[in-house]
Amino acid sequence: MTNSGNIHKGWFSEICPMWEGIAVSLKVEKLLYSKKSRFQQIDLYQTRSHGRMLVLDGIIQLTEQDEFSYHEMMAHLPLLSHPNPEHVLVVGGGDGGVLREINRHDDVRFIDFCEIDQEVVNVSKQFLPSIACGFNDPRVTVHIRDGAAFVRECSGCYDVIIVDSSDPVGPGEILFKSQFYRDLKHALKPGGLIATQGENFFLHPDWVEKLMGVTRSLFPIYAYANIIVPTYTGGHIGICMGSLGPKLTAPARPVPQMLQSQLKYYSPEVHRAAFVLPYFAEKILKDKGV
C-alpha cells in the first residue's frame, strides 16, 4: 500500500482529533484508490470483513457491510415523516446511498442532489456501484457545487431536505453553521422538514447541543434520532430533524409493503424507537432547553 494514512500492519485505524483517545480499526486487504481531490483526500479500501470502505480525510464514510443502516434512516425517517414528499433536496452524500433509498419512494417526483466534490461521485460510481446506483434514477438532477451556496439561492422549493454531511472539519464545516440552518428553513415549502447529520452524543455532546439548539430556535417541531452504525467511531450517529408542520417521531403514513420488503434497518417500529434516547443524552438536551 502506498497510502501513508492510518495504516499499520494491514490495519486501517480512524484516528481523528475530533475523537481523541479512541479509534475504529478494520483489517484491509488492498488499497483500491487513493487521490487528493481539490477538497479532500479520498481513499477506497477492500477490507477483510466489511467489503469496500470509503474514507475521506482519514474518516470512514461507509463500509458495504453496514452502510444500509445510515442510508436507510437518513432517507426514510424524514420522507416517511412527511405526508407527501414530492420535491426533495440532498446536500452532500457523494456516494449516492441516500439517493438510492429516496428512489424507492414512488411519490417523490423531483430530487435535486448537491455535492461539492465531483471526484467522490466518480469514485463511488466506479467502486461502489450497489450504492452509487442512486444516481441512475431519472428524477435525480445533480449539481456539483457548494451546498451552502446552493441552499442559499432556494426559496420555498422543497418538501424535504436531507443533509448527508461529513463531520464539521474540511469541506463539510460550513454545513454545521447556524446560517446554513436558517437557509435550509427558507428553502422549505410550507409544512416542509429537514434532516441533518447530527453527530454522536457520546463523543460530541457539545455539537449535539449546538445543532439541536439551532434547530429548536428555527423550527416549531424538532427531534433528535439515533442510528446504530457499527463502523462509525462510537458505534452510532444522530439525525437532527426540524419540521414546519409534520410530526417527526412516528410515520405520517403507512409504509408500503413493497418498500418495507426492500429494507434491512428501517421499519415503523424503528422509526419510533430512534427518538427514544438514553437518559444522559435526553438530559443533556433538556438541560440546554432543547
Is residue 199 marked as binding?
no
Return d(Cα 244, Cα 234) in angstroms, integer. 31
Is residue 243 marked as binding?
no
Among candidate residues 164, 183, 206, 287, the one labeled active-site is 164
Alpha-helix residue ranges (DSSP H) falling in 11-161? 67-79, 97-102, 118-127, 129-132, 147-152
Is residue 92 marked as binding?
no
Could you confirm whether 112 is annotated as catalytic?
no
Radius of gyration of the chain from Cα atoms? 18
Q: Please identify which residue in the block is written with the cell numbers 410515520.
A: 251
Phi-psi region of 234 (alpha: psi -120 to 50; beta: other; left: phi over 0): left
Task: Count other C-beta atoms under 10 Å from residue 126's C-beta.
Answer: 12
Is residue 165 marked as binding?
yes
Is residue 183 marked as binding?
no
Q: Please identify which residue in the block is written with the cell numbers 405526508.
A: 83
Is residue 186 marked as binding?
no
Is residue 147 marked as binding?
yes
Is residue 95 marked as binding?
yes
Return d(Cα 44, Cα 120) in angstroms, integer. 10
Residues in the chain: 290
Is residue 166 marked as binding?
yes
Phi first, then psi, for residue 249 (nearest 5°) are: -85, 5
85 alpha carbon, distance to own chain's centre: 18
Is residue 101 marked as binding?
no
Is residue 118 marked as binding?
no
**Annotated binding residues for S-methyl-5'-thioadenosine, as ranges?**
40, 115, 146-147, 171
What residue numbers does the annotated binding site cover? 40, 71, 95, 115, 146-147, 164-167, 171
Question: Which residues carry a binding-site annotation for spermidine?
Answer: 71, 95, 164-167
> What are the catalytic residues?
164
